[in-house]
Amino acid sequence: MTNLHFTEIELLHLITHRIGNKSRDEQVGLSVAESVIDEETTDMLLNRFLGPVNKEEVYSFMHPVNLEMNEVYVVAKELFADPGAFITSSHNLATLLYEQSLHPKIMEGKLNVVYFSNVMVGEEMVDAIGLFKSEQDVPFIKMLQGPSGFNIKHEYGFELKGLDKGCLILNTEDEDGYRLLLTDNKSADARYWMDEFLKVQVVSNEFQQTRQFLNITKDYITKELTKEFEVTKTDQIDLLNRSVEYFKSKEKFDKEEFEDEVLQDGKMIQSFHNYNEAYAQDNDYEIIEHFEISPVAVKKQARIFKSVIKLDKNFHIYIHGNKDLIEQGVDEQGRKYYKIYYDKEK
C-alpha cells in the first residue's frame, strides 16, 4: 500500500492484556485501565508497533458464509463507530485471541490493543486499530549510578526492534472487510493469528499480482519445463534471468508481451498457458493479463530466482547475462565441462 503514510499518526489509546495458552490452562488477564505511557516512550512504541508492519501486502477480513460472522471484524466495526468503548472492545479482542490460543507452540505473552488516529491512506485521513502481541522476553542490564559507584542488575522485557505478531486495521473499505497490514512474521505458529483469530485473506493489488506471477513463472521454469522440453540448466537460468529483467524494465505487465519476449517459443508458450490454467484451478487463482508492476515485489522475488549452476562440491557458476558465452560439453575421458568466454577479469 504505497499511498499509506504515518507522518501525522497519533496514539490515542493503549491497553495491555496478558494472553496465556488455553490448552495449557494458562489464563487471560484483562486490564481494567489503559496503559500509562509518557511522551518519549510513546515515540518508541510507535516505532516498535509500526516499523515491522508490511505496507505492501494488504489483507481484508473474510468469512466463508457472511462477513458479519467474522468476530474480530464485528468488534473492530463497533470500536470504529464508538472509540469511547475502547476498553470493552479491547477485552472482547483479547478474549477472542485467548480462545484461539490452543496450539502447543503458542507462548504466553502481552497483547497491546491500540487506537490510532491520523493515518493517511491516499487522500483520506483515517483511524486505525492496532493489535500487537509480544511473547519473547529477553534479559537486559541496567546500570544505576549511586553515590559511590554503579549498581548493576538485570531485568526482562521486550525488544523494540521486533514483534511476534501484529496487525493494523485501517478504517477504510469497511463493507469489503476493511484493509489490514500485518507484520512480516511467517513462523508456523503465526498461522493461527491470521487464519483462526483474524480470519483474513490477501487483497489483490500490484504487489500481490507481481509476486504471484513471478512465483508461478519460477515454478514453471524450474519444475515443469524439463518434463516437456529438453533444456539445459543454462537454458533454465537464462529464462529465469529474462523473466526478472522483463519485470525490472517495465512499469506495466502484459502477459502476451511477456510470453513473446521471455519464452519466445510457441510450444513453450502453450505449455505455460496450460500450467497457468492448472495452477489457477488448483489454487483458486485468477489469471490477470495486465497489471501495474510493483518494484518492491520484483526486488523481493528476484532473490529467490537462483542464477547458479552447482557442480559437485567444487564450483558454483553464477550466470547473470548472455547464455551464449557459456558452453557445456563432455571430453574424451567422459568428464563433463563448461567453457566460459569473457573479455576481461574483474
Model confidence pLDDT, tens digit, residues 43-92: 888 988 998 888 888 999 999 999 999 999 999 999 999 999 999 999 99
* Residue ranges for the chain with pLDDT beneath 70: 1-2, 138-140, 156-162, 184-189, 306-327, 337-338, 341-342, 345-346
Convert the pLDDT of each residue in 192-227 to its tens digit: 899 999 999 988 888 889 989 999 999 999 888 888
pLDDT of residue 323: 62
pLDDT of residue 260: 94
CA–centroid distance for 327 within its chain = 39
Total residues belonging to the chain: 346
Residue 5 CA to residue 11 CA, distance in Å, equals 14
Q: Are 162 and 52 in contact (CB under 8 A)?
A: yes
Residue 303 CA to residue 309 CA, distance in Å, equals 16
Helix (H) or strand (E) holding 234: helix 233-249
Domain ranges of the chain: 4-202, 206-340
Q: Quick one: three-class SS letters along 147-162?
A: CCCEEEEEEEECCCCC
The model carries a pTM of 0.75
Report DSSP state, residue 194. Answer: I
